[in-house]
Amino acid sequence: MMRMSLYCTALCGLLTAWAPFGHADTPKPFDAAAAFGDRTDITSMRISPDGVSALFVTPIAGQGSVVYTVGLAPGAKANAAFYSDGKPFRLNGCNWVANDRLVCSVYGLTPDHSNLHRLLPVTRMVAVNADGSKPQQLTTQLSQYSAGAVQYDSNVIDWLPDQDASVLMEKQYIPENHEGTIFNSNVRGLGVDMVDTRTLAVKHVIAPRDDAVEYISDGRGTVRIVAVVDKKAQAGATYAAGQYVFLYRLRDSDDWHRLSTYSSADRTGFEPVAVDHDLNIAYGWKKLEGRMALYSMSLDASPAEKLVFARPDVDVGGVIRIGRDRHVIGASYSTQVQHSEFFADNVRPMMVALHQALPQRPLISVVDSSVDGSKVLVFAGSDVDPGSYYILDQQAHTLHKFLGTRALLEGVTLGHVKPLTYPSGDGTNIPAYLTLPPGVEDPHGMPAIVMPHGGPASRDEWGFDWLAQFYAARGFVVLQPEFRGSAGYGDDWFVKNGFKSWDIAIGDVVAAGHWLVKQGIADPAKLAIVGWSYGGYAALQSTVVDPTLFKAIVAIAPVTDLAALKEEHRWFTDYALLNSYVADGPHVHDGSPIAHADKFKQPILMFHGTSDIT
């Protein structure tokens, strides 16, 4: 039996001292907006290779963040290792590259010099010691001679578990023009370098090629797969066509061979996502009867495809990986609740023990582990628990709670989330999640909100949702519909997507409101709709379809004009893909809320950020 113990000794003094985690000595009135709307106390967490320390990222004022490192032993003190103030760069996440050194990714939004009204995302990589010393930029250093700029900089593709503080990184090479000298460089494209994060010494591993878009390593230091632009599909095109060819190398060979083709436009073909060094296979996605399934492809002289895992009802959503070599141990999927399927025999008993130890927190995921697997970082939560990180010591057979993600919600009763289905206008049963105010078991005649998700190629999942819980805490029933056009349920459910087939998607959203009223759950005079991004679009367009159903409309960063949505991307490489996604036809006018302002009869509240990319 696993022994469960709650562990706070190492951080108790620390947590009371830090504003993001501690509570003041004098209790303050509960501020629901702050408790639910603040950024989470922990945005990412990792365990060191030796299992002795952990790092975690926590927010500070504005868009700033700090990464702290702390020993796992009782009494250990935390060190601020790296800081980003969010002006403009923000801390995206960090990982250990050695027991005393980290690699962090930062991103920012900067003005496009060709159009100062438009913002461009920029990423950079930085290495820093665990104690905060010796910060160094790892990524491309441009000079006055560089014939171009790097927007998306290097990406770590292999953490090299057998190397000390070195990584394999994709690097974007830019030509240099030293006019009148012999030092010109015409090297261009994406290559792979081994970078020593202590000395910044670089070893070129894969020569850059201008058609490469991604490399995949085996987690042991060998690049086995490259994705290149399909030149035949791209021929003569100004914008990205979204067609790719994946090439692979045999073990101990530098020659590339064709593995598969893939289209990002309709997700057809085989898309590799990981390589297993020991099995000599690539894991990847491919459709089976209209749903995404996990396949493997052997990487020998005669590649053979094999189905690894599929579901007859939903897409397989992701691979589960662990350790510095990012070894694939399973796959995840969501019906109306989340599930995991593990392939590794040694992982299954661990997961059974974790569920036994944390029966009230069924959403359990393995986040990271030490190199030897003795220490495992686990995240666990539920619909009424935003989640906490735990340290599993497999040698001592103990599980210790380490840090919670939302200190302001500790001890606060939240509303349970109930999966259900409701009928749409054509009789199709639509999956949905119903969040009830805390303490309410049988809702009747209550204020209610329909809250469609963004995307539209997205979906909600059972678990803690800060916005739904905020409204539930204020006394609202919240229904989140998985309208047709949502991702995760296969091609038939996706239809043509939520813009081309907006009438079906919005019909399902409208039906959610009518169902709440018909069931007696919602007071028809107090029924609202709230949405973000596509959800904001759905909130507005639902009111166009049925102007009297919702008595209040809140649209956050909504799409309002489908033609303008396409046009905003004209100077981006994805213009052709987005143009195809929205397409042309009567639906562009009919499905644009801005063209039907005369239909709005109820109060509308709209929000939009000033730092959106488009």
- Mean of the per-residue pLDDT values for the chain? 89
The CATH number for 496's domain is 3.40.50.1820
345 pLDDT tier (thresholds 50, 70, 90): confident
- Whole domain around residue 300: which residue ranges? 211-336
Give the chain's domain count. 2
| Positive or negative torsion for Cα 469, 474, 477, 479 | negative
pLDDT score recorded for residue 20: 35
CA distances from 296 to 271, 272, 278, 281, 303 (A): 10, 8, 13, 6, 10
Residue at 239 is within a domain: yes
Evaluate whether 582 touches 500 at the Cβ level (below 8 Å): yes
Which of 336, 351, 378 lies at the terminal end of a domain, its last residue?
336
Residue at 566 is within a domain: yes
Distance of CA 109 to the CA centre of its chain: 18
One-letter amino acid at 490 equals G
Of 122, 144, 126, 145, give the one whose Cα is nearest residue 136. Answer: 126
Sheet holding 338-342, edge to edge: 316-322, 327-334, 338-342
Report the number of secondary-structure helices (H) and strands (E) in the chain.
11, 36
- The fraction of the chain above a pLDDT of 70, given in percent, is 90
Determine which helix (DSSP H) or strand (DSSP E) holds 532, and give its type and residue range.
Answer: strand 522-532
One-letter amino acid at 46 equals R
Q: Is residue 193 over pLDDT 80?
A: yes
Residue at 31 is within a domain: no
510 pLDDT tier (thresholds 50, 70, 90): very high
146 pLDDT tier (thresholds 50, 70, 90): very low
110 pLDDT tier (thresholds 50, 70, 90): confident
Q: How far apart are CA 517 and CA 401, in angstroms?
A: 43
- DSSP H helical ranges for 474-582: 491-494, 502-518, 534-545, 562-567, 575-582
pLDDT score recorded for residue 491: 96
pLDDT score recorded for residue 148: 54
Q: How far apart are CA 169 and CA 160, in angstroms?
A: 11
Do 332 and 431 fall into the same domain? no
* Pairwise pLDDT comparison (475 vs 120), residue with the higher score: 475
pLDDT score recorded for residue 422: 98
Do 442 and 586 fall into the same domain? yes
Tokens of 114: 């060709």
Which residues make Cβ contacts (< 8 Å) with residue 443, sequence separation at least 6?
A: 436, 437, 477, 521
| Positive or negative torsion for Cα 379, 138, 324, 123 | positive
DSSP 8-class letter at 146: B
Of 430, 604, 606, give the one whose Cα is nearest residue 506. Answer: 430
182 pLDDT tier (thresholds 50, 70, 90): very low
CA distances from 3 to 54, 78, 119, 183, 359 (A): 22, 27, 52, 65, 14
pLDDT score recorded for residue 415: 96
Q: Is residue 467 over pLDDT 60?
A: yes
Q: Is residue 612 over pLDDT 90?
A: no
Do 427 and 313 fall into the same domain? no
Do 564 and 455 fall into the same domain? yes
pLDDT score recorded for residue 578: 87
Which of 336, 363, 393 lies at the terminal end of a domain, its last residue?
336
Do 437 and 308 fall into the same domain? no
Q: How crowded is the C-beta side of 435, counted as CA atoms within 13 Å?
A: 30
Of 524, 338, 311, give the one whose Cα is nearest residue 433. Answer: 338
Do 318 and 446 fall into the same domain? no
Residue at 57 is within a domain: no
Do 427 and 575 fall into the same domain? yes
Evaluate whether 387 touches 407 at the Cβ level (below 8 Å): no
Do 311 and 457 fall into the same domain? no
Do 594 and 447 fall into the same domain? yes
Do 291 and 427 fall into the same domain? no
Evaluate whether 135 touches 80 at the Cβ level (below 8 Å): no
Q: How far apart are CA 50 and CA 137, in angstroms?
A: 25
Q: What is the pLDDT of residues 535-576, one digit of tens each?
A: 999 999 999 999 999 999 999 999 999 999 998 888 778 888
Q: How crowded is the C-beta side of 174, counted as CA atoms within 13 Å?
A: 19
Q: What is the pLDDT of residues 7-26, one digit of tens each?
A: 222 222 222 222 333 333 44
CA distances from 25 to 22, 134, 409, 580 (A): 9, 37, 16, 57
Residue at 44 is within a domain: no
Residue at 612 is within a domain: no
Which of 336, 356, 373 lies at the terminal end of a domain, its last residue?
336
Mean predicted confidence (pLDDT) in 419-442: 96
Q: How far apart are CA 34 and CA 20, in angstroms?
A: 12
Do 219 and 327 fall into the same domain? yes
Helix/strand/coil for 521: coil
Residue at 181 is within a domain: no
Which residues sit opposite 84 in a β-bridge? Answer: 65
pLDDT score recorded for residue 310: 98
Burial 284-303 (b: 16+ CB within 10 A, else e): bbbbbeebbbbbbbbbeeeb
Residue at 452 is within a domain: yes
Determine which helix (DSSP H) or strand (DSSP E) holds 341, and give its type and residue range.
Answer: strand 338-342
